[in-house]
Amino acid sequence: QVRLVESGGGSVQAGGSLKLSCAAPGYIFSSCGMGWYRRAAGKEREPVSIIKERGVIEYTDSVKGRFTISLDSDKMTLFLQMNSLKTEDTGVYYCAVAAPDYSEDDGCSWDPAQADWGQGTQVTVSS
């Protein structure tokens, strides 16, 4: 089990920026990778950005061009730089580490029952 500790959330006006951090001490980066998810009030949890081995990065369409995921592998800390924030970016942001699951198409699962998740950090964007 990987212990993940997020920080950096807060309140900001639309158009502003925040940088989230996720410390994962002792974690050895795997092919399934790490990522950021978010859950807005009353909505399902959704992936925001994922970084996999060999630097493969994915973003959900709504954040492309505004958010940047990065990994400091020496400190094993995952970051999410969020610029040009919009009110619809409001939610609880979670850091997660995928688990191997060969029943999945890509061999990885983000299901909380299998993967490791942090406690979440609140991001609130006001108009």
Can you tell me the mean pLDDT for 12-38?
94
Tokens 């994962």, located at residue: 24
Residue 18 in tokens = 């925040």
Amino acid 28: pLDDT: 85
Amino acid 53: pLDDT: 85
Sign of the four-CA dihedral 106, 73, 97, 91: negative
pLDDT tens for each residue of 101-118: 988 888 899 998 889 999
DSSP 105: T
Q: Classify strands 10-13 and 121-126 as parallel, antiparallel or unpaired.
A: parallel
Amino acid 125: pLDDT: 98
pLDDT tens for each residue of 48-100: 999 998 889 999 999 999 999 999 999 999 999 999 999 999 999 999 999 98
